[in-house]
Amino acid sequence: MTREDAQRRPRRRSHRRGGAALLLAGLLASSGPADAETAAFTAADRGRLDRLCRATGTAPPSPAALAVAGTAVREHEAFGGHVIAPGGALVRFGAVEADATRDEAAGRGAPWRQVMRYWETLGPLGDGPLQVRRFPRLAEDATAPGTGELVPLAEILARLRGTSLPEAEREALAQAAFRAAASDIPWSAAFVSHVVVTAGVSRLRFQAAMAHLDYVAEAARRSRDEAQGLSAGAFYRACDPRLTPLRPGDLLCLHRHDGPGDFAGLVPALAAGERPVWNLHCDVVVATDARRRLATLVGGNVLQSVARRELKTDRRGILARPRRGGACPAEGRIGPLCHPEAAPWFVVLQATDPVDP
């Protein structure tokens, strides 16, 4: 739910005061996964789950899954976002979250307003988790110390409505606050939630949320139940990305914690309600190309944009094992522009419908 890579400057990681602030503080208070002793899936359960994942992964994607993929493609086009080639080469630097210009000829709205559309999927903008970071005296003194504080956007908007400023000035200040919030609060999970819900997936089957953790855990619980032979109704099933072919409509997710953490070590804990990881990011798989051995993904809040990128797959359509080389120097840090297959992709959320295995 944070920036797609640590290559950018650190600048925020909190949400509104109260429950949301406590939630995000818990999500981002540490740089490493928590130590958790959790019973893994039994060998029989894991075998049953892997067979389900492979059977679904080799079947054609359902209409609902294709709708998710198509919605993500349209959102990328409407945003005018980045395009990243295999290996991590940035071939198009597109619009970024705080941009105020729009390309009407291309059907593209102002990027900051696009980000607000994603948040609106989760609730009204004036009563949500959006905040703006304030640094005391920084406007007057570039050397003013401090890390700043977050001010709820709703409070700012309410105060603007209560002023006697001319309407044009109030509107300009309100839009500036929205643009700041688009940049100050992570929005990648809001993007995924917007895409899945807009595609027509029922909220009864998908837990739209401001944190990727919520719907990853939901998928993990489905996998646990199915592995035990129980029925499950969630739209997504958690599968091992190193064993499962990718399909349009799936979500491929990584964590941003130091140390190892793969499907076997993390997903059972998430299914049990634990949080061995919490700082996550998910992209939507929008296409696969068996001949070129590539999967195309679209994600929000990737390098401050909605980005389309291609990851290498093997002949089975499974995420390829990472290899050094290509666009990045040997010392480059793993991220969207550097050895992207080597990122800690630990789970693929497999889109399922009643017609799927």
Where in the chain are the domains?
19-351
CA dihedral 241, 243, 249, 254 (to 10 degrees): 0
CA-to-CA distance for 133 and 136, rounded, in angstroms?
A: 10
In Å, the largest CA–CA distance within the chain is 69
pLDDT, tens digit (0-9, with 9 covering 90-100), for 129-170: 899 999 988 889 899 888 889 999 999 999 998 889 999 999
CA 85/CA 103 separation, integer angstroms: 24
Give the pLDDT confidence of 78-133 residue by residue, as tens digits.
999 999 998 888 999 999 999 988 777 666 779 999 999 999 999 998 888 899 99
Kindly indicate the confidence band of residue 36, based on its pLDDT and cuts at 50, 70 and 90.
very low
